[in-house]
Homo-oligomer: A and B are copies of this chain.
Amino acid sequence: MMVEKFEYLSKILMETFEEVGQKNPLGEVADYIPELSKADPECFGVSLVDLSGKSVGYGDFEKKFSIQSITKVFSLSLCLGHFGEKIFKRVNREPSGNPFNSLVQLEKENGIPRNPFINAGALVISDMLLDIFDDPKQGYLDFLQDISNNDNLSYNPKIFTSEKENKERNAALAYFMKSYGNINNDVDRLLDFYFFQCAIEMNTMELALAFRFLANHGLVPHSKNRVLTASQAKRINALMLTCGFYDEAGDFSYRVGLPGKSGVGGGVVAILPQNFSICSYSPVLNKQGNSTKSIQLLEMFTSNSGESIF
């Protein structure tokens, strides 16, 4: 990206960040897991990185938070890169039209989740990942450290324990799919690995760095490692656009116009292919479970800058 354009985007981002920061966001910090509810509702930060490595951050952009469902993009990328298209025999790639942890659709469609970004789909993806690593947790961290150019990532053991103590809904999803033959591993082992992923902590700059391969035809810009083929990267971007925001995917796509993914920890990451990645963090969530301020920021930023895929 030319220096002028980067500076132009940085300036618009700064102005947008200030404007959104002054609003009092409607919503609540996630409380379905006690440990998550301890997040500071005042926190707000954003980072933007272009493909050449130029970066800018505002506010609490270095505050670590639980990446939660954002991890589903990393898991899908790892899995698609390793197994290829055949993974879509076990998980579809259609928007769900239902809340993120619904069992209704699973029953109607014989245990095949609608897409890899609802919990059921991510459990199936995790079930496959268990088979490609000797030490799945370490393998997963190694991958994240490579793409974020940061060998100091870890998970939050309190969040991890809190997730495990509140495993009921995900246990129900996993056992339900296993009853259809769509989970191969032991459910407790699967949930342990799944909650580990959700409990990984990163800040907005690390996440923005880590998503750049999706804006760069599947190639990690700094290391030149190929995670995905160009075609696979394009396809994951399409999936993020159609399925990345739970039951609000259509609305996010409509208002923001960038492929992205949110997590109930309060993070939202989005990319503009061939241009940049951007990550915002604020733990106050709207009723769909997406960060209120982060979505406002991205909507205003794309409107003000005119940057969108459409």
Contacts and interface: CB of A to CB of B under 8 A. Distances in A.
Given A172-B172, A310-B234, A97 B107 contact: no
Interface string A205-232: 0000000000000000000000000110
A125 interface: no
A102 B96 contact: no
Contacts of A95: 94-97, 242, 249-250
A46 B167 CA distance: 46
Q: How large is the interface on A (under 10, 10 to 19, 20 to 34, 35 or more residues)?
A: 35 or more
Interface in A161-207: 167-169, 171-176, 178-179, 187
A235 interface: yes
A125 B174 CA distance: 24
Given A107-B102, A235-B255, A250-B242, A309 B94 contact: no
Interface string A95-138: 11110001111111000001100000000000000000000000
A8 interface: no
Main secondary structure of the interface of A (DSSP, over half): helix
B309 A273 contact: yes
A93 interface: yes
B94 A251 contact: yes
A239 to B, nearest CB: 6
A258 to B, nearest CB: 10
A279 interface: no
A144 interface: no
Q: Which 6 A-B pairs have the closest CB atoms?
A: A97-B97, A95-B95, A168-B179, A172-B176, A94-B250, A172-B175
Interface of A: 92-98, 102-108, 114-115, 167-169, 171-176, 178-179, 187, 230-231, 233-235, 237-239, 241-243, 247-251, 253-255, 257, 259, 273, 303, 306, 308-310
